[in-house]
Amino acid sequence: NIIGDIVGFDFLSDEEIKKLSKTKNIFPPKNLGCYQIALASNGNIYGCCEGFDKLGIMNDSIPYLIDNLKKRIKGPCMGCSQTDFMCGLKNVYKQE
């Protein structure tokens, strides 16, 4: 999710990102997919260790949390459960 410009610094173009993904190990990998449940110290449960939008809380049932995770990974962003985190790359890989 790239916003704005910084003088003297340039982001990779879509073509450069695609070329790198074919020749180097990059993050996020082309087929990201992040299938973990992370428990934060405040009792919130996230679908990613980088999560900021919780799946539920520690006292929720496992089936409830798994169901919420499954709904997220079927979303628009390469199997990522936190789509606002990495979704900027979805359109790059769609162009192939």
More confident residue, 36 or 56: 56
Quote the CA–CA distance of 72 and 81 in Å, as a whole number.
5
Q: Where are the domains of the chain?
A: 34-90
More confident residue, 37 or 34: 37
Are 78 and 35 in contact by the 8 Å Cβ rule? The answer is no
More confident residue, 79 or 23: 23
Q: How many CB atoms lie within 10 A of CB 53?
A: 14
